[in-house]
Structure 1
Amino acid sequence: MSSGEKILQLLESMQSDIKGIREEQSAMRSDMKDFKQSQSVMQSDINDLKQSQSAMQSDINDLKQSQSVMRSDINDLKQSQSVMQSDINDLKQSQSVMQSDINDLKQSQSVMRSDINDLREEQSTMQSVLALIQVQLQEHGAILSALQTASEFHKADIDNLTHAAAQIQGEMKELRAGQHRIETDVREIKENYLSLAEITIEHEVSIRNLRRKLG
C-alpha cells in the first residue's frame, strides 16, 4: 500500500473518529441537557423540600408554642382546680358549721318552747294569784274602811293623850329643874364635907404633934 493510500485511510479513519466524537459529543450534550434539566428539576424539588421543611419547622415551632400554651393552660387548670377544691372544702366546712348552727337553733327553739310553756304555766299561776290578791284587796278595802272608822274614834283619844303628854312633859321639865337644884346642893355638900374632912385631918395631925411634944 502506497503512502498516499495510507494517508487517505488515516484521514478516513480520523474523519470517522471525528464523526464518532461529534456524535458522542452531541450525545453528551444531549445527556448534559437532560442532566441539567434533571438537575433543575432536582433543584426545584430540593427548593420545594426546603420550603416544605421550613413550613414543617414553622409548624413544629407553632406546635411547640401551642404545646407550651397548653401546658400553661393545664397548669392554670390544675391551680384553678386546686382553688376550687379548697373552695369546696371551705364550703363543706361552712356547711358543717351551718348545720351545727341549725342544730343549736333547733335546740334553742326547743328550750324556748319549754320556756314559753313554763311562762304560760307561770302566767296561769299569776292569774290565779292575781284573782286571790283581788279578793284579798277587796277584803283589805273593807278592813281599811273599818280601820278608818276606828281611827276617827282613836283620833280623839290620841288628841287627849297628846294633851296629857304635854302636861306630863311640863311636869318632867319641872322635875328635871328640881333634880338639877338637888344635884347642885349635893355637890356643894360634898365639897363642904371634903373641906371639913381636910380640916379634921389637919387638927388630928396637930393634936398628935402636941401630944408627942407633951409626952
Structure 2
Amino acid sequence: MILNMNEELLNSIRAIIKEELKPVKVSIHNMEDDINSMKGDISGLKDGFDNMKVDIDSMKGDIKSIKTLQEEDHLILKALEHKAEINKAEHDKIINNLAHLNGKITNMKNTLKSIKEDNKSIIEVLGEHEISIRTLKRRPV
C-alpha cells in the first residue's frame, strides 16, 4: 500500500511538473523561433555587409580612377597654362613690334610728305627755268 501511494504520489507530482513545464516548453519553443529568426536576420546583415564591402571596393576603384583622371587633367592644365604664358609673351612681342612699326610708318609718312613738298618746289623751279630757257631761245642773238 505505501508503495502504491508512493507511486500515485509520484505520478501526481509528475503530472503537476508536466503541467508546470508546458508554459516553459512553449517559452523555450518561442525562444527557439526567436533565435532562428535572429539567425536569419544576422545572415541577412552578413549578406548586406558583404554587399557593402563589394560596393566599397567598387567605390575605391572609382576613386582611384577619378584621382588618375584628376592628375591627368592637372598635367593638361599645367601644359595649357604654360602654352598660354608663351602665347601671351608672343602676343606682347607682336604688340611691341606693331607699335615700333607704327612709329616707323609715321616717320615714313612725314618723310614722304617732306619729299612731296620738296618735289613740288623742284617742279616749280624747273618750270620757271624752262620758261626762261624758251624765252631766251626765241630772242635773236
TM-score category, normalised to shorter length: 0.7 to 0.9
Gaps of 5+ in 2: none
Matches within 5 A, 1:16-27: 16-27=9-20
For structure 1, which runs of at least 5 residues remain unmatched after alignment?
1-7, 151-215
Matches within 5 A, 1:1-215: 8-143=1-136, 145-146=137-138
Q: Deviations for 1:33-67, whole angstroms, at most 9, x for unmatched residues?
A: 32221011111112112212322332332233234
Shift of 1:75: 2.5
SS at 2:106's partner residue?
helix
Q: How big is each residue's C-alpha offset from its partner over 1:145-173, in whole Å with a ceiling of 9 and x where there is no partner?
A: 449x89xxxxxxxxxxxxxxxxxxxxxxx
Q: TM-score, normalised by structure 2?
A: 0.81
Q: Which amino acid aligns with 1:61?
A: V
1:33 corresponds to which letter in structure 2? V
Q: What is the rounded CA distance, in whole Å, between the counterparts of 1:141 and 1:22 in structure 2?
A: 170
How far residue 100 of structure 1 moved from its aligned partner, in angstroms, is 0.8
Identity %: 8
State how far apart, in whole Å, the 2-side matches of 1:105 and 1:74 are: 46
Q: Which has the larger radius of gyration?
A: 1
Please report how far the alpha carbon of residue 99 of structure 1 lies from its aligned counterpart in structure 2 after TM superposition. Answer: 0.6
Task: Provide the TM-score with structure 1 as the length reference.
Answer: 0.56
Q: What is the total number of aligned residue pairs between the two structures?
A: 141
SS in 1 for 2:33: helix
Distance 1:140 1:26 in 2: 164
CA offset digits 1:2-44 (Å, max 9, x no partner): xxxxxx1122212222333343344445433322210111111
The CA RMSD measured in Å over matched residues stands at 2.5
